[in-house]
């Protein structure tokens, strides 16, 4: 190989080596900053999805064109929600003080194919309307053994609509439009029987099946400031985009109605008693299984929310005084149950939440605002939530997540096969976790991280987690727990945890340490006493993956240490190559040169030719 080619190859190899080292360094730094390599006591907790659009169970488009189409579709769908709000408010404003039920003809849209549904307005009277009257007024049409709702229905203030069991009700919903049932300051009852539940679904008459597409709008049932009773009902394939058009939504109506309608829309007449009663309800493939907003009191019993696009049940917007019992949420795109910001004084007893796309249960008590706001939002933290005797299993996120809430208790529950068992974070306080069984968690059994105080973790049975109990930057009392089968640490303390107490716990498993305190930041004072770690086996023969899990900064420091070492090796090799090349030239000089005129050496040339012939000058110089 010629020296020039050798030089080019060496230069390319040096540049490629430098680029690779830089790439490794950057990847290590990014991995550490994102927490991808950290588990055990420092593993980031799983967060739920708050954005319904992001939490939807649809696939994420990757190409720019697909993303642009998705955004355009989202904008159109959001406008449909806004149009529905405007349509309903306009109808409510126009309801006469007295008069019989009437039909409002809806003008055709600009699109020729669109056939917007008319609206039947049920006005106030002492007796409730029923299915037979909807048929007589033309909203319902008998089709064999089903009733087809071809017009939307508005239960105006003071009116009542009781739909009882019998033939299934199919609500028109297709690409040209959809129908809805809305009760505004009235009363709506959906009543079946245990032997024959009331069945309601969307229906595409052209294709003769329910409406599977949410993007172009879909039928929904909504009550605002109304008395709502749902008993022995089966509701499927309803709802789109927002909570209020989510399929089955119940709203208190005080704040929303007063701010968005005229004097005809006042505070709900049912504010002093239960506004919602649900008993033996099954929903399937709704946008939200049940959306509850600003309800002051109510009960939900024996409900099943299956395969909701976003969440199984969302308690939102200052909902309080609600009791949820013997109710399940399965296969939701995001959380199974969510108690959102502003909601409080809620009891969940005997709930089942499994195989959901985020948290099984999420209690978010963070303030609606920090400091004064234009809308006067409440800056206080909320909570007062109790979860009793529940089962939360197989969820992609935490079995139960408490985020910034106050006065929350989770007791007597089983959490199995979740990413984390229970997580408490973001300055939550006065949280009690006791008498729970936390099994087969991929990360934390119980994690108290990022600012919570006054957290009581006591008398829990935690089995088969990477870290049984982790306390990071928080104040917690961990007492009387049994941790078994942990693979990293039984209890880990990280960061500043002054005031924490770790007492009377039974710790068993196999890993670097039973009680990890090496990562506490000074000055920190914690009480550690009377913990039984006789069943713990210290595992020093760790794999590379486990070493990285215990020491995530290795991903950052290893490239930094390898960089000068690699550069040194390259330099030594380059010097050695040059040295060998120099010795080769020296040996060539010491060898006996051929005689002029022989086959190996040209004869003498004229001196003038030597001046224009570098090779000749070089040879002459060497020979001299």
Say which residue, 257 or 134, is predicted with more confidence: 134
- Stated pTM of the model: 0.78
Q: Above 70 in pLDDT, residue 588?
A: no
Instruction: Give the span between the Cα atoms of 284 and 195, in whole angstroms.
Output: 19
Model confidence pLDDT, tens digit, residues 283-294: 999 999 999 999
Read off the tokens for 187. 């009363």
Say which residue, 546 or 351, is predicted with more confidence: 351
Mean pLDDT across 495-520: 93
CA angle 547, 549, 551 (to 5 degrees): 65
Instruction: Report CA torsion sign: 552, 557, 561, 562.
Output: positive
- Which of 38-52, 111-125, 525-539 is predicted least confidently? 38-52
pLDDT at 166: 81
Say which residue, 416 or 614, is predicted with more confidence: 416
Say which residue, 522 or 319, is predicted with more confidence: 319
pLDDT at 555: 63
Range with the largest mean pLDDT of 166-170, 212-216, 323-327, 604-608:
323-327
Mean pLDDT across 220-236: 97
pLDDT at 414: 98
pLDDT at 589: 60
Q: Above 60 in pLDDT, residue 256?
A: no
Kindly report the average pLDDT of the chain as a whole number: 83
Q: Are 128 and 93 in contact (CB under 8 A)?
A: no
End-to-end CA distance of the chain: 28
What is the percentage of the chain residues whose pLDDT exceeds 90? 62
Q: Are 357 and 380 in contact (CB under 8 A)?
A: no
pLDDT class for 52, splitting at 50, 70, 90? Answer: very low
pLDDT class for 111, splitting at 50, 70, 90? Answer: very low
Max intra-chain CA distance, the chain = 132
What is the percentage of the chain residues whose pLDDT exceeds 70? 77
Mean pLDDT across 586-614: 51
pLDDT at 21: 67
Q: Are 308 and 332 in contact (CB under 8 A)?
A: yes
pLDDT class for 610, splitting at 50, 70, 90? Answer: very low
Look at the block and give the residue holding tokens 């190996």. Answer: 600
Buried b (16+ CB within 10 A) or exposed e, 420-436: bbbbbbbbbbbbbbbbb
pLDDT at 110: 41
- Which of 333-337, 379-383, 527-531 is predicted least confidently? 379-383
Instruction: Give the span between the Cα atoms of 226 and 128, in whole angstroms.
Output: 14
pLDDT at 537: 93
pLDDT class for 124, splitting at 50, 70, 90? Answer: very high
Q: Above 50 in pLDDT, residue 58?
A: no
pLDDT at 547: 56
Instruction: Give the span between the Cα atoms of 300 and 476, in whole angstroms.
Output: 33
pLDDT at 260: 38
Q: Above 60 in pLDDT, residue 129?
A: yes
Radius of gyration of the chain (CA): 36
Buried b (16+ CB within 10 A) or exposed e, 242-279: bbbbbbbbbbbbbebbeeebeebbeebebeeebbbbbb
pLDDT class for 266, splitting at 50, 70, 90? Answer: very low
Say which residue, 301 or 542, is predicted with more confidence: 301
pLDDT at 49: 35
pLDDT at 69: 82
Mean pLDDT across 100-116: 68
List of residues 6+ apart from 537 with CB closer than 8 A: 509, 510
pLDDT at 9: 75
Model confidence pLDDT, tens digit, residues 440-479: 999 999 999 999 999 999 999 999 999 999 999 999 999 9
The helix/strand/coil state of 169 is: strand
Q: Above 50 in pLDDT, residue 412?
A: yes
pLDDT class for 196, splitting at 50, 70, 90? Answer: very high
pLDDT at 557: 66
Read off the tokens for 391. 């089962």
Mean pLDDT across 536-563: 66
The helix/strand/coil state of 535 is: strand
Instruction: Give the span between the Cα atoms of 511 and 459, in whole angstroms.
Output: 23
Q: Above 70 in pLDDT, residue 40?
A: no
Model confidence pLDDT, tens digit, residues 474-503: 999 999 999 999 999 999 999 999 999 999
Mean pLDDT across 383-403: 97
The residues that bridge with 400 in the sheet, in sequence order, are 361, 422
Say which residue, 617 or 300, is predicted with more confidence: 300
Say which residue, 614 or 209, is predicted with more confidence: 209
Q: Above 70 in pLDDT, residue 545?
A: no
The helix/strand/coil state of 166 is: coil
Mean pLDDT across 311-320: 94
pLDDT at 36: 39
Q: Are 168 and 200 in contact (CB under 8 A)?
A: yes
Mean pLDDT across 498-514: 95
pLDDT at 54: 41
pLDDT at 45: 39
């Amino acid at each position: 190989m010629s020296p020039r080619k050798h030089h080019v190859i060496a230069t390319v190899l040096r540049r490629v080596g430098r680029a690779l080292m830089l790439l490794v360094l950057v990847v290590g730094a990014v991995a550490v900053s994102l927490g991808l390599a950290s588990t055990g006591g420092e593993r980031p907790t799983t967060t739920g999805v708050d954005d319904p659009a992001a939490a939807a169970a649809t696939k994420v488009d990757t190409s720019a064109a697909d993303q642009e189409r998705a955004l355009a579709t989202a904008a159109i769908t959001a406008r449909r929600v806004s149009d529905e709000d405007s349509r309903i408010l306009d109808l409510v404003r126009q309801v006469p003080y007295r008069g019989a039920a009437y039909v409002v003809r809806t003008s055709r849209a600009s699109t020729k194919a669109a056939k917007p549904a008319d609206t039947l307005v049920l006005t106030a009277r002492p007796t409730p309307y029923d299915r037979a009257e909807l048929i007589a007024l033309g909203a319902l049409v008998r089709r064999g053994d089903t009733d087809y709702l071809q017009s939307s229905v508005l239960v105006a203030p003071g009116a009542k609509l009781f739909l009882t069991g019998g033939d299934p009700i199919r609500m028109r919903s297709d690409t040209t439009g959809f129908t809805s049932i809305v009760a505004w300051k009235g009363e709506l009852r959906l009543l079946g029987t245990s032997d024959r539940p009331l069945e309601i679904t969307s229906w595409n008459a052209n294709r003769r099946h329910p409406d599977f597409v949410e993007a172009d709008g879909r039928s929904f049932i909504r009550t605002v400031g109304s008395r709502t009773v749902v008993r022995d009902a089966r509701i499927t394939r309803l709802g789109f985009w927002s909570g209020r058009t989510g399929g089955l939504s119940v709203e208190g109506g005080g704040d929303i109605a007063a701010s968005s309608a005229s004097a005809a829309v006042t505070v709900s007449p049912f504010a002093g008693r239960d506004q919602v009663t649900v008993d033996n309800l099954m929903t399937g493939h709704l946008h939200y299984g049940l959306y509850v907003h600003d309800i002051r009191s109510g009960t939900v019993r024996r409900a099943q929310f299956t395969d909701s696009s976003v969440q199984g049940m969302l308690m939102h917007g200052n909902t309080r005084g609600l009791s949820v019992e013997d109710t399940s949420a399965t296969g939701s795109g995001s959380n199974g149950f969510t108690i959102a910001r502003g909601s409080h004084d809620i009891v969940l007893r005997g709930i089942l939440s499994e195989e959901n796309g985020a948290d099984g249960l999420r209690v978010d008590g963070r303030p609606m605002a920090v400091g004064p706001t234009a809308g006067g939002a409440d800056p206080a933290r909320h909570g007062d939530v109790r979860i009793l005797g529940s089962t939360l299993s197989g969820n992609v996120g935490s079995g139960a997540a408490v985020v910034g809430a106050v006065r929350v208790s989770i007791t007597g529950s089983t959490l199995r096969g979740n990413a984390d068992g229970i997580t408490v974070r973001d300055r939550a306080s006065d949280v009690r976790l006791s008498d729970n069984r936390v099994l087969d968690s991929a990360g934390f059994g119980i994690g108290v991280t990022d600012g919570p105080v006054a957290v009581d973790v006591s008398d829990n049975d935690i089995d088969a987690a990477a870290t049984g109990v982790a306390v990071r930057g928080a104040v917690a009392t961990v007492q009387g727990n049994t941790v078994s089968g942990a693979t990293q640490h039984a209890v880990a303390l990280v960061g500043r945890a002054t005031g924490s107490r770790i007492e009377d716990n039974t710790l068993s498993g196999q890993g670097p340490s039973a009680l990890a305190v090496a990562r506490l930041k000074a000055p920190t004072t914690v009480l550690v006493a009377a913990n039984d770690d006789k069943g713990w086996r210290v595992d020093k023969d760790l794999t590379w993956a486990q070493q990285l899990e215990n020491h995530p900064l290795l991903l950052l420091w290893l490239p930094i240490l390898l960089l000068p070492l690699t550069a040194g090796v390259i330099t030594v090799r380059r010097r050695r190559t040059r040295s060998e090349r120099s010795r080769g030239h020296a040996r060539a000089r010491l060898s006996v040169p051929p005689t002029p005129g022989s086959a190996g050496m040209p004869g003498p040339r004229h001196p003038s030719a030597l001046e224009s012939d570098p090779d000749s000058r070089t040879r002459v110089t060497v020979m001299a």
